[in-house]
Structure 1
Amino acid sequence: MTTTEPPIEPPAAQASTRRAWLREHSELGVCVMLLALGAVVLTDALTMDVALTQRGPVGPRTVPVAVGTGLLVVAVLLAVDVLRGGRGEAEGGEDIDLSEPADWRTVLLLAGVFLATAVLIEPVGFPVAGALLFWGAAYALGSRAFHRDPLIAAGLSLVTYAVFNNLLGVPLPGGPLMGVL
């Protein structure tokens, strides 16, 4: 009696097969992220020192434990669904052509605008840094209304500053202009 062994695939074919499997099961990445996030939330909640603050059966750990447990359950259920062949449906209104390359210019412009806002928010204050953020994001995303965009950005930034600083009581850095206004 002779046994026949299956043919051995070359390493390139194995890598190609593995990539194809990973591409078909890409939702498993979301499962891993949800699992990690749930573990972090549960670990943080269970190591919380609440000896003096809890008065009754429902304490400060209740919601984080529920959220962390929910994240773990959703991660496991999603992984089971994906491994059984389930796939997320594409959004009906989605207009992205996945065969086109990424627009790195826009991504880099937005990253630069966010970085500039983070650097400038303390020295120039939120109203100026926020206006630059709003105007820069509009420019990076394609708006070229140079007469209108800076005015809208300034108005949005001032309204946001006033709502957070004055109405909600969340102090934002005002910068040198707040002494004038």
Structure 2
Amino acid sequence: MTVLEKTGKKSWWRGRSELGVSALLLVVGLLVVIDTLAESNTGGGDSDPIGPRTVALVLGAALLLLSVLLTIDILRGGHGEAEGGEDVDLGTPMDLRTVGMLAGVLVATAALIPLVGWPIAGTVLFAGATYALGSRSFPRDLAIAAGVSLVTWFLFDGLLGVDLPGGPLMGVFG
């Protein structure tokens, strides 16, 4: 039974759920500012007089400002409009099983990367996501996931110089 059914009154939060986004912006902005101020490096070198701290502080301040402006807009009655072509029924509850499986796959991937490297952990990520989203073609999904994972590893590690752990494949391809 909803609040409206129990009391006959509309909940204050109904229509103001976007305050959650504002709260998220506030938390992330505070984390960025606090973490940046906690860093011991105070600025850039001779070649970079501004330094990375300045950019992080500006970003954190912008997030805080956006949070305040969004909160004011929402409290004055403003709200986001759904896209005209959107075919999502917002009255339908979310599928917690799918969300839980996707969250589990993300956590498993984060735990596996240092242990087995990106190519294997990425395969788990991509194949697990396809399974969670409803695909049941295991051999095809596993092959595509392994291919995408290897290609991203080669691109980032080999071509872009972003160090992704190779795990056991480091001896084979590295």
Instruction: Report the TM-score, using the length of structure 2 for normalisation.
Output: 0.79
Shift of 1:19: 6.9
Shift of 1:57: 5.9
Residue type of the alignment partner of 1:93: G
Asked if structure 1 preserves the Cα contact closer than 8 Å seen for 2:36 and 2:53, the reply is yes
Distance 2:8 2:30 in 1: 31
Shift of 1:31: 1.9
Gaps of 5+ in 1: 1-11
Shift of 1:87: 1.1
Q: Greater shift after overlay, 136-145 or 58-67?
A: 58-67
Q: How many residues align?
A: 169
| CA offsets 1:46-71 (integer angstroms, 9 cap, x no match) | 44434574548633332122212212
Q: 1:121 to 1:46 in 2, by over 3 A?
A: closer
Decide which structure has the larger Cα Rg and report it.
Answer: 1
2:152 counterpart of 1:160: yes
Q: Which residue of 2 aligns with 1:135?
A: 127
Shift of 1:154: 1.1
Residue type of the alignment partner of 1:32: A
Residue type of the alignment partner of 2:93: P
Distance 1:165 1:87 in 2: 43
2:16 counterpart of 1:25: yes
Asked if structure 1 preserves the Cα contact closer than 8 Å seen for 2:44 and 2:50, the reply is no
| CA offsets 1:126-147 (integer angstroms, 9 cap, x no match) | 2122112111111111123334
Q: CA RMSD in A?
A: 2.8
Instruction: Report the TM-score, using the length of structure 1 for normalisation.
Output: 0.76
Shift of 1:84: 1.1
Residue type of the alignment partner of 1:58: I
Residue type of the alignment partner of 2:22: C
Percent identity, aligned pairs only? 56
Residue type of the alignment partner of 1:104: L
Distance 1:43 1:99 in 2: 38
Correspondence 1:86-105 to 2 at 5 A? 86-105=78-97
Distance 1:109 1:50 in 2: 40
Q: 1:180 to 1:23 in 2, by over 3 A?
A: same
Distance 1:137 1:121 in 2: 16
